[in-house]
Amino acid sequence: MMDIERERGITIKSQAVRVNYTSDDGDTYEFNLIDTPGHVDFTYEVSRSLAACEGAVLVVDATQGVEAQTVANAMMAMNANLEIIPLINKIDLPASDPERAKEQIEDGLAIPADDAVLCSAKTGEGVHDLLEAIVYNIPAPQGDIDAPLRALIFDSYFDAYRGVVALIRVVDGSVKKGDTIYMMAAGTEALVEEVGARKPAEIALPDLSAGDVGYLVTGLKDVAQVKVGDTLTLSSRRAIEPLPGYRDVKPMVFTGLYPIEGDQYEPLKEALEKLALNDPALVWEPETSHALGFGFRVGFLGLLHMEVVEERLEREFGLNLLATAPSVEYHVLKKNGEMISLHSPQEMPDPSEIEHIEEPYLRVKVLVPPDYVGPVMDLTNSRRGTFVNMNYLSSTTVEVIWEMPLSEMIMDYFDRLKSSTKGYASLDYEMAGYRVSKLVKLDILLAGKPVDALSFIVHADNAYNRGSILARKLKEIIPRQMFEVPIQAAVGGRVLARTTVKAKRKDVLAKCYGGDITRKRKLLEKQKEGKKRMKAIGSVEVPQEAFMAILKVDE
Amino acid sequence: MPHDPYKALYLHIPFCVKRCGYCDFATRAIDRDDPRIDEYVEQLVVDIRRFCKQGELSEIETVYIGGGTPSHIGLNRLSSLLYALSLSVDLTRDGLEFTMEANPESLTERMVLDIWAMGVNRLSLGVQSFDDEVLAILGRAHDAARAKEAIETARLRFDSVSIDLMCGVPGQSASSLEESVKTAVELGIPHVSMYPLTIEPHTAFDRAVLSGEMQEPDDDVEAEHMQIAAHILEEAGYSRYEVASYALPGYESKHNSSYWTGVPYLGIGQNATSMTQNSDRRMRVMNNEVIDDLDRRQMEAEDLMLGMRMSIGVSDERVAAAAEYLPEVYDVLNDLENEGFLVHDLSRWRPTTQGWLCGNDLYGRILDLAP
């Protein structure tokens, strides 16, 4: 488990384990279990894990009930024709409401919940029931042990001593040490150096055959040669049809990552390469910013993925990084008929060359108690969302469906959604294609000079509003310097909003009665925080927080 | 939690005849006949009686009715409020200070006579300037003549009158400010609060500054204005007892000083803040929400910080007491003295003019003793 997973209580990487269980019927069964992440950013991890399984245990938190991600993951499991066992967990907590969870599972997911297992993973209550339910409800793997080998690679990682290790589910045939395997999509071959199972420690086995889940050591040096979703077969006896794979993972959110100290560029590059060995979803290309120097434009699956990667880069590799505000991939049709993809506002062509700009839209599903539909509507409307429809899943849960631009989603939408619904709302989304939007690039000028790393793309109707808020936020965040720093928000050279960080000579002697004291404390804390991590842009010291300020556009 | 008795009581009246361009206070512009004001005042009365019954008002030494504009709600409502207060707080206590804020446009002779009769003994008038142009820029509902009339009316009963003045207003010249301050001196106003204009987020002025319609107040101009005011007032015998407060001898505001000296206060009404504490813990609460929760170390640091708003600063004994919890305090104070923000003499640590002008540095460094 990664530190981040433990601290945040989330699963990021799938884990596979094999256990033997002696059932009440006296027989011993072999379970191959795969734990999957739940967050929408890691949907691809779920989909590929499900493809390797016969059944799924759908875990619902008895205190939270069915969440939007529960629905999404249940749908994936149904589409994969898996047997589903509903499990209601955390029943030991005083706030748990298993009956409500059951009702939601039936109404919202159309899964019979009469036999849902009630369980507390903490106390162990109900765990026996779950294991019995797996024995009785989930079919044993089908598959032809005599057919040519077909095994699905559902995860792979790089091990410095052994090369690339693949986690596989064998569907047909068998594989053993010494076999030469062939990756059907990649077209590469490798010698099998070891096979085995994780229990959870890795135990080498003579072979893996139809129905088994295990690991396979290849000795290959490049993880890209062992692609997740690919089908393994034997070189000497190739299967004809590969297993259904899954689509390539596409990054949705892009951000600039820059080392705060210039000499950390190479270490950052090496760190990204190392992380990518185990994270095929991580993509990057070099980027140069006038303001920030040399860095990388990095693509992520979503904001959580971004946060996790940034945190790992800092923690595991000791880097001190500055991240720019995330942006999405825009498509720009130029007047000359050329269509270009932008991963960064800096790549925006001159407005005179642009025919139109398209931005990615999402179909967003929010599950929320009926009382909070109003606040969700207000929030989503303010984010250029278009209402699609609304269904009552149960008396306590409404499903509201929207279409909204991805760029609005990444602006703190999830946190705002949570706070405007007292934490009750849950969210799921899927891509809904590109649409033409009236977009402009908003530039921020510090001391009269545009700072490329602070510019962002915004809907023309929101430019003034967002520009004003950002100018004001920057004024709060950028500490006073020895000279005055004018801040301007401009579109195409037209200044929409301006403000000034005054020279550090005098402070405002604001009144300070009663509640003002609290405000004063907060202000001083904020200023102190801002001084911690600074980057010199020209002659202006700018704290890291400034680059993320645009994400917090609601006040 | 078990807490030390409240010594100061604040009542908030969140209504005004109009909202000024710079205002971000908890107030709204509604008609004085609006029934919502009645409801609000009724609730205040209920709360006052309730706190009284709970014994929270038995040691109150100062009362302050602020706003908003308390005079905007009219004499009838003020009367019921004052009556409830007279039943709940010992208004005859020796030395009790009872301030009410009023704006020139809504202060009447009748109001002056009656509120004085019901126990108010200090009147704070929101004058801001004696220059009509500046008043118009600020968006005030009165002009200079009306302000002077109101002062005269207040004088019918009140000896202790305070006025607020503003400086650093875009369009306000140094000579305009000088005139206003001199007028205050000539009128013999015994207490003057002097504030530079601050552009707060979400105000009309904030929008005007962002869109370029209004010049942002300049720090140097504000500092210069503060120095002009300090010079005139000190020359005329006022002491600058707090960074923004001037008083003739004996006219310092006890209520305001309690905010800077760690005295527990109870705030009643919308957005009114209460400070509740005992020897281990200090909380500030607004609208039933805890907005600050400090441990003893943080309390000590905060008291030192707030003490530095006042010209008398902090005594050696006070610092020694704080040092029990904040052993680094002497290092920090010595550094601040070396940098010209503080002086240490006559057994007290006091802020210098430089310290006051760069208050955020000074206050921030002291608060950092216990983040």
- According to the model, what pLDDT value does residue A531 have? 63
Record: contact A524-B367, CB cut-off 8 A: yes
Beta bridge partners of A203: A197
Instruction: Answer left, alpha or beta for residue B73, where phi above 0 means left and psi between -120 and 50 means alpha.
Output: alpha
For residue A472, the chain B residues in CB contact (below 8 A) are 201, 206, 210
- According to the model, what pLDDT value does residue A532 have? 60
Summarize pLDDT for A53-110 with one digit per residue, the tens.
899 999 999 988 888 778 878 888 887 889 999 999 999 988 889 998 998 888 878 8
A162 neighbors A193 (Cβ within 8 angstroms):
yes
Record: contact A468-B212, CB cut-off 8 A: no
Beta bridge partners of A398: A368, A392
Summarize pLDDT for B138-192 with one digit per residue, the tens.
999 999 999 999 999 999 999 999 999 999 999 999 999 999 999 999 999 999 9
Chain A closest-CA separation from residue B246 CA (Å): 13
Chain Cα centroid distance, residue A266: 26
Is B250 strand, coil or helix? coil
Instruction: Give the global pTM.
Output: 0.62
- Predicted-complex ipTM score: 0.85
Give the position of tokens 């609460």: B285
Cβ-Cβ contacts under 8 Å for A491 (sequence gap 6 or more): A440, A441, A442, A443, A460, A463, A467
pLDDT of B349 > 70? The answer is: yes
DSSP state of A525: H
Provide the CATH number for the domain formed by B297-371 in this structure: 1.10.10
Q: In this structure, what are the phi and psi dihedrals at residue A210, rounded to the nearest 5 degrees?
A: -40, 125
Q: Which of A468, A506, A520 sits opposite B222 (nearest CB)?
A: A506
Integer Cα distance of A509 and A351 in angstroms: 44
- pLDDT confidence band for B263 (50 / 70 / 90): very high
Average pLDDT of span B43-65: 96
Record: contact B219-A506, CB cut-off 8 A: yes
Average pLDDT of span B29-52: 95
Architecture of the domain delimited by B8-258: Alpha-Beta Horseshoe (3.80)
Chain A closest-CA separation from residue B367 CA (Å): 8
For residue B286, the chain A residues in CB contact (below 8 A) are 515, 518
Neighbours of B17 (CB within 10 A): 16
Integer Cα distance of A288 and A299 in angstroms: 16
Chain B closest-CA separation from residue A185 CA (Å): 57
Chain Cα centroid distance, residue B218: 23
For residue A502, the chain B residues in CB contact (below 8 A) are 218-219
**Pairing between strand A293-300 and A253-259?**
antiparallel
Q: Which of B201, B243, B291 sits opposite A509 (nearest CB)?
A: B243
Record: contact A512-B220, CB cut-off 8 A: no
- According to the model, what pLDDT value does residue B172 have? 94
DSSP state of A66: S
Share of chain B above pLDDT 90, in %: 81
Summarize pLDDT for B310-342 with one digit per residue, the tens.
999 999 999 999 999 999 999 999 999 998 999
Chain Cα centroid distance, residue A91: 28
Record: contact B198-A514, CB cut-off 8 A: no
Q: In this structure, what are the phi and psi dihedrals at residue A359, rounded to the nearest 5 degrees?
A: -130, 155
A21 neighbors A51 (Cβ within 8 angstroms):
no
Q: Which residue of B has its CA nearest to A464?
A: B211
Domain ranges of chain B: 8-258, 297-371
- According to the model, what pLDDT value does residue A500 have? 86
Record: contact B271-A506, CB cut-off 8 A: no
* Greater model confidence, B349 or A317: B349
B7 neighbors B263 (Cβ within 8 angstroms):
yes
For residue B357, the chain A residues in CB contact (below 8 A) are 505-507, 509
Tell me, yes or no, if B309 comes closer than 8 A to chain A by beta carbon: yes
**Residuewise pLDDT in 10s, chain A (555 residues):** 566 677 766 666 667 888 899 999 999 999 988 877 767 677 777 777 788 889 999 999 998 888 877 887 888 888 788 999 999 999 998 888 999 899 888 887 888 888 899 999 889 999 999 999 999 999 988 889 999 999 998 888 888 788 889 999 999 999 999 999 999 888 889 999 999 998 888 899 999 999 999 999 998 887 777 877 789 999 999 988 888 766 566 788 899 999 887 788 999 999 998 888 767 778 888 998 888 889 999 998 888 888 889 888 888 888 888 888 888 999 999 999 999 998 888 889 988 899 999 999 999 988 888 999 999 999 999 899 999 999 988 787 889 999 999 999 888 888 888 888 877 788 888 888 999 999 999 999 998 888 888 888 999 998 988 888 888 888 888 877 778 889 999 998 899 998 888 776 666 567 788 888 888 888 888 777 666 667 777 778 888 778 877 776 654
Tell me, yes or no, if B367 comes closer than 8 A to chain A by beta carbon: yes
Record: contact A507-B364, CB cut-off 8 A: no
Q: Which residue of B has its CA nearest to A519?
A: B291
Is B309 strand, coil or helix? coil
Integer Cα distance of B215 and A506 in angstroms: 18
